[in-house]
Amino acid sequence: MARYKLILAYDGAAFAGSQRQASTLSKAGARKAVRTVQGELEKALRGLGWSGRSVLLAGRTDTGVHAVGQVAALDMEWAHENVALREALNARLPFELAVRDVEIVNSDFHPRFDAASRHYRYSLFCEEVRNPLREKTAWRVWPIIDGNLLGEIAGVFIGKKDFSAFGSAPGKNMNTVRTVMQSGWKKIEDIWNYDVTADAFLYRMVRRLVAVQVAVAQGRCSVGSVVKALEKPQLKSGLPAGLAPAHGLELIEVGY
């Protein structure tokens, strides 16, 4: 018996989030299973003789959010090489989900509680007319954005701050202070990528950060309003409402 750490990649559009969920009732009243990353992984593991109750995940991603660096952990008896476990799982997993790497770790390793940082990337592009294929993994934004303003506003979020105006705590009366180590935009051809790394994130925080930054870059919100929302989160922020769509977001890496 050993504890295995798995690195997962998946197309978020194919799943109702990463975390296993209870079945739901259809319009006809029948029970319908909810397809999740955790559920599909556990199904594949049981096909290899795994008898555990639940796989541990580094964190939850919402419906539509993608990943190349989600981390899972489980205890399992496996008499073969790590690469054989990876290949055996990938042979049983649906096309939209893959195990990228497998390694044996300490028996007390926990992918969520041991995590020191999480790195997300958000992608967008500016086009007036919809582009169906590109919009599967990036947010189409119009009117066009000011790249200089994007660069200016991104740096405002770096540091230890109260981000309650940009997301929800995981539970009632829980801390909303987070430390952001990286926050910046980079343009590759006509795609804008926003990379943000923090010790942890509030619920839907990255999508909220992106939506507000786009509003600034379109002239619908001032940099000063964002600074005020960070410095005095107890006051009504005055920031525009809304979230960036889930399909532009990707979990890149969990650091330990």
Q: Which tens digits make up the pLDDT trace of 149-187?
A: 999 999 999 999 999 999 998 877 789 999 999 999 999
Domain assignment of residue 83, given as a range: 2-105
pLDDT of residue 27 exceeding 70:
no
Segment 29-80, tens digit of pLDDT: 555 679 999 999 999 999 999 999 999 999 999 999 999 999 999 999 999 9
Q: Is the same domain home to 98 and 125?
A: no
- Point out the residues that are catalytic: 62
pLDDT value at residue 198: 98
* Assigned domain for 112 exists: no
pLDDT value at residue 33: 77
Q: Is the same domain home to 181 and 67?
A: no
* Assigned domain for 192 exists: yes
pLDDT value at residue 22: 64
Contact by Cβ (8 Å): 205, 167: yes
Q: Is the same domain home to 198 and 244?
A: yes
228 residue type, one letter? K
Q: Is the same domain home to 27 and 147?
A: no
pLDDT category, 206, cuts 50, 70, 90?
very high
Which of 78, 105, 132 is where one domain is finished?
A: 105
- Rounded to the nearest integer, the mean pLDDT of the chain is 94
Q: What is the CATH number of the domain that holds 223?
A: 3.30.70.660
* Assigned domain for 49 exists: yes
Distances (CA, A) of 111 to 13, 138, 170, 203, 214: 23, 27, 17, 18, 32
* Assigned domain for 226 exists: yes
Q: Is the same domain home to 136 and 45?
A: no
In the chain, what percentage of residues exceed pLDDT 90?
89
Give the length of the chain.
256
DSSP state string for 2-70: EEEEEEEEE-GGGSS-SS----EE-TTS-EEPPP-HHHHHHHHHHTTT---S--EES----TT-EEEEE
Buried b (16+ CB within 10 A) or exposed e, 175-205: ebebebeebebeeeeeebbbebbbebbbebb
pLDDT category, 28, cuts 50, 70, 90?
low
Q: Is the same domain home to 84 and 126?
A: no
Contact by Cβ (8 Å): 156, 229: no
* Assigned domain for 96 exists: yes
In degrees, to the nearest 5, what angle opens at C-alpha 219 toward C-alphas 215 and 221? 55
* Assigned domain for 110 exists: no
Q: Is the same domain home to 139 and 227?
A: yes
Distances (CA, A) of 81 to 42, 70, 97, 246: 20, 22, 21, 36
Q: 108 — alpha (psi -120 to 50), left (phi > 0) or beta?
A: alpha
Distance of CA 34 to the CA centre of its chain: 19
Q: Report, as an integer, the average pLDDT of 233-239.
A: 81
pLDDT value at residue 23: 54
Distances (CA, A) of 236 to 78, 165, 240: 55, 9, 11
pLDDT value at residue 29: 59
Query: What's the number of domains the chain is made of?
Result: 2
pLDDT of residue 225 exceeding 90:
yes
* Assigned domain for 224 exists: yes
pLDDT value at residue 129: 97
pLDDT of residue 227 exceeding 80:
yes
Q: Is the same domain home to 65 and 180?
A: no
Q: Is the same domain home to 92 and 24?
A: yes
Q: Is the same domain home to 209 and 122?
A: yes
pLDDT value at residue 21: 74
